[in-house]
Amino acid sequence: MTLALKRLLAERGMTQRQMARATGLSLPTVCDLLNHERWPSANTARPQITQFLRAHGIPIAAALRKEKASPGSRPARPTHPTQQEQGECPMLLRKQTLSAAARQHFGLSSDPFADCRELPDVFLSPDIRYVRQAMMDKCRHGGAMAVIGESGAGKSTLREELIEKLSKDDSGVIVIQPYVVAMEENDTRGKTLKAAHIAEAIMATIAPLSHIKSSHEARFRQLHEALRDSSRTGARHVLIIEEAHALPVPTLKHLKRFLELKDGLRPLLAVILLGQSELLLKLSEQDANVREVVQRIEIVHLPPLDNDLAAYITHRLTRAGAANADKIVERGAIDAIRSKLAPRRDTGSLLHPLAVNNVLARAMNAAAELGAPTVTAEFVGAAGAP
């Protein structure tokens, strides 16, 4: 089942890419909506889509109705995009794993696209180094920042690398991470993360044996005192919230109160948010509800691999045991990956690690099956096929 809007766009000669540009939403977000009815979490998304429908004379009720695929067409697959969807949304290429035969064929000791297991596995471009250093600075000196990056851009890897490095350096920084497994921006599809839940996470981390006070005022006074006492032993504290684009606006607003917890002039808690582009919309200086926290939070973007694609591929292959990465993936193949994932300037680049990994893994598997010694542009061009 897909939304009727997908068919109505096609009847008008419009692409999903054009809808993304017109609404200001990302292309993967639009594809997720049309093909799987997964609505974006941003509060502004529905008004933008409604305005788009009205501007193009598309009845709203008809557009948002579910319908079956037309007779004779391939059945819809709810979890895997079709070839047409992948052609427009290369980011949605399903998860690919490099086969054992391909690893043997190219002389690799491990899967170069598996999750990083050691600090040297993490690729650090100049842009990524800046984001990493900014995160470390907040841990050591306090303050707040939001790391904005699309799905698959490497936000989770940076968080994991930061925690690993803080632990190895014996930095004295205590990391507090509220659980966000079922977090949503409203209680309809999941559970919202409230200020009280953040307080519980802080107390469970720095004072796990304390009995939490029952009244609201006493509980937060207890929290302040626990942070102060911990700080006076030399500890620093950082609150890290992943999937922060799903935070409700009231919780974002309350973050200001956590940042104001101090011992004299010394801040007691740093805050790092990691989220997709919807978080940037929520942190708009035009929204009076979050204006106070927006004035106190540094926005840092985790950029795509536009200028570092070749270096990224070389790094991942070398870490997997490749003697000469240039002999595995030729320059033309790298250019083909760039063309596939960043086809137009006006839609923004999709050259994020997850998408690159999926395209290149499929291309390497295809090359190995044919016994080709090198991944060429032709193999990359075929990597979007289902």
SS (H, E, C) 227-268: HHHHHHCCCEEEEEECCHHHCCHHHHHHHHHHHCCEECCEEC
User: Do 74 and 112 share a structural domain?
Assistant: no
Check residue 229 and give its pLDDT. Answer: 96
3-state class (DSSP) for residue 120: helix
Which domain CATH number covers 6?
A: 1.10.260
Beta strands, E only, 186-333:
236-241, 262-263, 266-267, 270-275, 297-301
Bridge partners of residue 297, in order along the sequence: 144
Provide the 10 A C-beta neighbour count for residue 143: 19
> Long-range contacts: 13-16, Cβ < 8 Å, 24+?
14/56, 15/88, 16/88, 16/89
Half-sphere exposure of 188 (CA within 13 A, CB side): 6
pLDDT tens readout for residues 269-327: 999 999 998 898 889 888 888 888 999 999 999 989 988 999 999 999 999 999 999 89
User: Do 112 and 46 share a structural domain?
Assistant: no
Residues 6 or more apart in contact with residue 92 via CB below 8 angstroms: 28, 31, 32, 81, 85, 86
User: Do 315 and 278 share a structural domain?
Assistant: no
Which domain CATH number covers 253?
A: 3.40.50.300
Q: How far apart are CA 261 and CA 269, in angstroms?
A: 7
Look up the domain containing 242 and give its range.
126-301
Check residue 227 and give its pLDDT. Answer: 97
Check residue 144 and give its pLDDT. Answer: 96
Q: Which two tokens stand for residue 2?
A: 């897909």
Check residue 132 and give its pLDDT. Answer: 93
Check residue 136 and give its pLDDT. Answer: 94
Query: Vertex 290, ends 48 and 50: CA angle to 5°?
Result: 10
Bridge partners of residue 299, in order along the sequence: 146
- Single out the residue in 301, 329, 356 at which a domain terminates: 301
Q: How far apart are CA 35 and CA 4, in angstroms?
A: 10
Q: How far apart are CA 254 and CA 269, in angstroms?
A: 13
pLDDT tens readout for residues 167-222: 888 889 999 999 988 788 777 777 899 999 999 999 999 999 998 888 889 999 99
Provide the 10 A C-beta neighbour count for residue 160: 14
Number of domains observed in the structure of the chain: 3
User: Do 141 and 107 share a structural domain?
Assistant: no
Check residue 87 and give its pLDDT. Answer: 44
User: Do 327 and 348 share a structural domain?
Assistant: yes
Element (H, E) at 195: helix 195-206
Q: How far apart are CA 17 and CA 146, in angstroms?
A: 27
Which domain CATH number covers 310?
A: 1.10.8
User: Do 203 and 172 share a structural domain?
Assistant: yes
Q: Which two tokens stand for residue 177?
A: 């991470």
Element (H, E) at 349: none
User: Do 244 and 146 share a structural domain?
Assistant: yes
What is the pairing mode between strands 66-67 and 2-3? antiparallel
User: Do 177 and 259 share a structural domain?
Assistant: yes
User: Do 154 and 111 share a structural domain?
Assistant: no
User: Do 288 and 224 share a structural domain?
Assistant: yes
Q: Say if 93 falls within a structural domain.
A: no
User: Do 338 and 230 share a structural domain?
Assistant: no
The answer to whether the CB of 211 falls within 8 A of the CB of 240 is: no
What residues of the chain score a pLDDT lower than 50? 71-88, 90-91, 346, 385-386
- Single out the residue in 273, 301, 329 at which a domain terminates: 301
What secondary structure letter does DSSP report for 295? T
